[in-house]
Amino acid sequence: MERKMEENTVRDVETGSEAGGEDALVGNVNKLTVSPPGYSGAPRKGHLVFDACFESGNLGRVDYISEFEFDLFIRPDTCNPRFRVWFNFTVENVRETQRVIFNVVNFSKTKSLYRDGMSPVVKSTSRPKWQRLPAKNVYYYRCPDHRRNYVMSFAFCFDREDDVYQFAYCYPYTYSRLQHYLASLERRNLPYLQREQLGLSVQQRRLDLLTITNSDHLSPEREKKLVFLTARVHPGESPASFVCQGVIDFLVSQHPVAQILRDHVIFKIVPMLNPDGVYLGNYRCSLMGFDLNRHWQDPSPWAHPTLHAVKQLIVQMNQDPRVSLEFYIDVHAHSTMLNGFMYGNVFEDEERVQRQAVFPRLLCQNAPDFSFSNTSFNRDVVKAGTGRRFLGGLLDDTSYCYTLEVSFYSYMTAGSNAPVPYTEETYMKLGRNVARTFLDYYKLNNLIKDNRTTHIESPELMPQTGNGKGNGTGRDAVDREREKSQSIRR
């Protein structure tokens, strides 16, 4: 489908209707050729062709400003015009050495890491690995020409005429990618991994549940420790999927720590809580425009079926006297802060408050990108419908509920003022370090007594120097934490 841009008006070839305002954006551009105003005839090289009609794609409109400049409009979340953050689109029919400025003109957020050096990611058909654009080519500012919205402008030079270029807000992690990953795990026939379909989304996509445990080592008489983890309730927060995959990769590995954890703990993981939103290229909402992380108190089986299914399962397990639901962690990505960090709940009981702080402190010792100083505990009214807040009130006082956040952009390490941009691999590394921290926690509290060697670790998983924001460094700090916390028991 080809459309022509002139005087900021878009004519939809299929409907014949005209829409000149941002509020009219309801679909993605589809092989949209942008030619100079008044031009007719076959498109020439350099008449850019934009497309976002693919999985997790998002670009609602393109305006031709000049041969070198284009205004781009994010398509709002389906059924919810409030959220305009995620973008993901391709550009082709480029001319070699063609230089352009793209202005993303209708962000719904005022604060953004683009002010702090973040930049979009790009890849092309001949260079399929995502990379961040140079920060010096990116500008973020409030623009009087666009309702005083914040605009992110970036300069780019196309260098290969036959390539298709793809630009995105952050590294995409699609529903299909998850399905391929889970299928590859299933093909390994691991005796300690079970995959099941917990339910279906509104558009009939799978809601997957993984159970990771060595059932042969679980005593029927003994209470079963259970850790529950969810990710991608907010579909545009793609780093959460890389973190979640890192957790899974570690837990199914032959690493000694993973083997001990499987022998003592049941891990339940829902890797993608909002598959429709992810597929559609939304930032915050489901197909029907709901922020699912505000509906935990009373999810509808028809409007929020994935959330309803997960809540039902957690409530059911919590009522089972043979199961101790010890942790609930919901993984997110943060658009204004650096590092990984956690949100927890506020309690009147000071001893419970101190116990809740132990896991983030231990994680700070294992993960150089995790910040305990950014970790906070709150009871904001606006967060009442979140998984962390709702389950924190539902579960008993021996359970811990956290939101794990990771920056869309970067982290700061100890002794450095230079941010280190996250990559897909370093997001997954944070997930692996989250997983291994469970053993530190359980050994600290004498809940796992296992003398098998656990120090045979690859360098990436070795205890790292803290980020200057926790207490102490490495395994010595875990020992000090153990000494301070001897009174902490379940």
Rounded distance, CA 395 to CA 466, Å? 31
Q: Is 405 a catalytic residue?
A: yes
Q: Which of 92, 237, 326, 405 is catalytic?
A: 405
CA angle, corner 123, sides to 23 and 127, nearest 5?
A: 160
Taking Cα atoms as reference points, which of 232, 240, 323 lies closest to residue 279?
A: 232
Question: How much is the CA Rg of the chain, to the nearest whole Å?
Answer: 24
Give the strands of the sheet with 340-345, arranged side by side: 193-200, 206-212, 265-270, 224-231, 323-334, 400-407, 340-345, 376-378
What is the SS3 assignment for the chain?
CCCCEECCEEECCCCCCEECCHHHCCCCCCCEECCCCCCCCCCCCCCCEEECCCCCCECCEEEEEECCEEEEECCCECCECCCCCCCEEEEECCCCCCEEEEEEEEECCCCCHHHHCCCCEEEECCEEEEEECCHHHEEEEECHHHCCCEEEEEEEECCCCCCCEEEECCCCCCHHHHHHHHHHHHHCCCCCEEEEEEEECCCCCEEEEEEECCHHHCCCCCCEEEEEEEECCCCCCCHHHHHHHHHHHHHCCCCHHHHHHHHHEEEEEECCCCHHHHHHCCCCCCCCCCCHHHCCCCCCCCCCHHHHHHHHHHHHHHCCCCEEEEEEEEEEEECCCCCEEEEEECCCCHHHHHHHCHHHHHHHHHCCCECCCCCEEECCHHHCCCHHHHHHHHCCCCCEEEEEEEECCEECCCCCCCCEECCHHHHHHHHHHHHHHHHHHHHHCCCCCCCCCCCCCCHHHCCCCCCCCCCCCHHHHHHHHHHHCCCCCC
Taking Cα atoms as reference points, which of 185, 183, 196, 206 lies closest to residue 273?
A: 206
- State the catalytic residues: 405
